Chain A
Amino acid sequence: DIQMTQSPSSLSASVGDRVTITCRASQSISSYLNWYQQKPGKAPKLLIYTASSLQSGVPSRFSASGSGTDFTLTISSLQPEDLATYYCQQSYSIPWTFGQGTKVEIK
């Protein structure tokens, strides 16, 4: 199985800050990488698919990049509603696997 490792596990940032989360795959997954946002008590929500494509309706402050084994999710200007846990997930091979999550808190 492909292991997905996110860093950091948690972070605290101020409104307006630029926030970056990284995700590393245990082997190359090309661009088969998705990012999800999960707010407390809610179901996950798709933010980014195939490494860098913004899902419809997602604010443009979210962006992502990467290929192969290393990927990043960036929030250009953190907003209070971005309080959530963010997960990366590979869709390169079954079983599809998720990172352990990065909890984003607002200072």
Chain B
Amino acid sequence: EVQLLESGGGLVQPGGSLRLSCAASGFTFSSYAMSWVRQAPGEGLVWVSVISGSGGSTFYPDSEKGRFTISRDNSKNTLYLQMNSLRAEDTAVYYCAKERSSRDIAAAGTVDYWGQGTLVTVSS
């Protein structure tokens, strides 16, 4: 059974940093691209970043470039999201998401499993 368990969320002040983790199990972690998707309270879904199965390729929307860094440790079956220079508008539930069928970003974009989410609140 595929399981994705996020951790690391919490309350942080504007300008602060936070690192989210996602422990994966139930599948061959390195064979799939992984993403982070966030959802602000009462709002829709927004894709935040993606990383290839090997960890060699990453992409971010322009709004997150330079502030967020996605990474993975395939030996630990764990996905990370380092978030810096946090703003109030980054307040959201952050979901760890597994790609359905590809380790390569070019063929990715469909999430078949989601974690339960971890809440990040940016406030003074």
Residues of A within 8 A of B (CB): 1, 32, 34, 36, 38, 43-46, 49-50, 55, 87, 89-92, 94-101
Asked whether, in the complex, the Cβ of A96 is within 8 Å of the Cβ of B47, the reply is: yes
* CB-defined contacts of A94 to chain B, threshold 8 Å: 50, 59, 105, 109
* CB-defined contacts of B44 to chain A, threshold 8 Å: 87, 98-101
Cα of A99 to Cα of B62 in the assembled complex, Å: 18
Asked whether, in the complex, the Cβ of A43 is within 8 Å of the Cβ of B105, the reply is: no
**In the complex, which residue of chain A has the Cβ closest to the Cβ of B112?**
A46
> Size class of B's contact patch?
20 to 34
Beyond the given A38-B45, A87-B45, A89-B109, please list 19 additional residue pairs across the A-B interface where CB-CB is below 8 A. Answer: A34-B109, A34-B110, A36-B45, A43-B117, A46-B100, A46-B111, A49-B100, A87-B44, A90-B109, A91-B109, A94-B50, A94-B109, A95-B47, A98-B46, A98-B47, A99-B44, A100-B44, A101-B44, A101-B45
Top 8 A-B residue pairs of the complex, sorted by shortest distance between their CB atoms: A91-B109, A43-B114, A95-B61, A98-B45, A96-B47, A49-B110, A96-B109, A101-B44
